[in-house]
A = this chain, B = another copy of it.
Amino acid sequence: MTTTTAAQRREEAKLQFDVFLATCPSRQLLDRISNKWVTLILCALSGGGPQHHEAGDGDGPRPLRYSQLSRMLAGVSQKMLTQTLRSLERDGLVSRTVTATVPVTVTYELTDLGRSLVEAVRPLKQWAETHIATVLTNREAYDAQASRPSVP
């Protein structure tokens, strides 16, 4: 049992939450949310699967089942999916609901906190999709230059 209360730690941290400090908890939080799977899961749960109308309906935020998520996030292993969902649940970003149907049904849904993070994380996804072409061009230019140290 720990003797340091949440209040104490929060008090302390409130003084300087600075992601630039390696010791700051917010630094670790940044590391957690700066993650490919976190971004994709959050976007998926927010109805961000733009072209993926899994259920064929609108794309508003709605709960998704485990299997739906694993199909949407192409290439994710179930280990990563489960692991990431757990950490998101632990951090209070998503809520997990178990329905006792014949084969058990588990759905994941964004919490209010999760929705607030989605606001910050969707632009990232958007940016990647928008500027990837430019980036690819830049890489080519850079690589070409690198292979030509002196003028021929």
Contact = CB atoms under 8 A, between A and B. Distances in A.
Interface of A: 1-2, 6, 9-10, 12-14, 16-23, 25-27, 29-31, 33-36, 38-40, 43-44, 49-53, 56, 72-75, 89-92, 113, 116-117, 119-121, 123-143
Nearest to A53: B2
Given A2-B53, A34-B34, A124-B34, A129 B89 contact: no
Given A6-B140, A27-B36, 19 more contacts: A6-B136, A10-B51, A19-B40, A20-B52, A25-B132, A26-B128, A26-B132, A29-B128, A30-B40, A30-B128, A90-B139, A90-B143, A91-B135, A91-B139, A116-B127, A119-B123, A120-B124, A120-B127, A123-B123
13 contacts: A1-B56, A13-B52, A17-B129, A20-B49, A20-B74, A30-B124, A34-B38, A90-B139, A92-B134, A92-B139, A92-B141, A92-B142, A120-B123
A51 B126 contact: no
Interface residues of A: mostly helix, strand, loop or mixed? helix
B138 A91 contact: yes
Contacts of A90: 138-139, 142-143
A111 B145 CA distance: 18
A55 to B, nearest CB: 10
Nearest to A25: B132
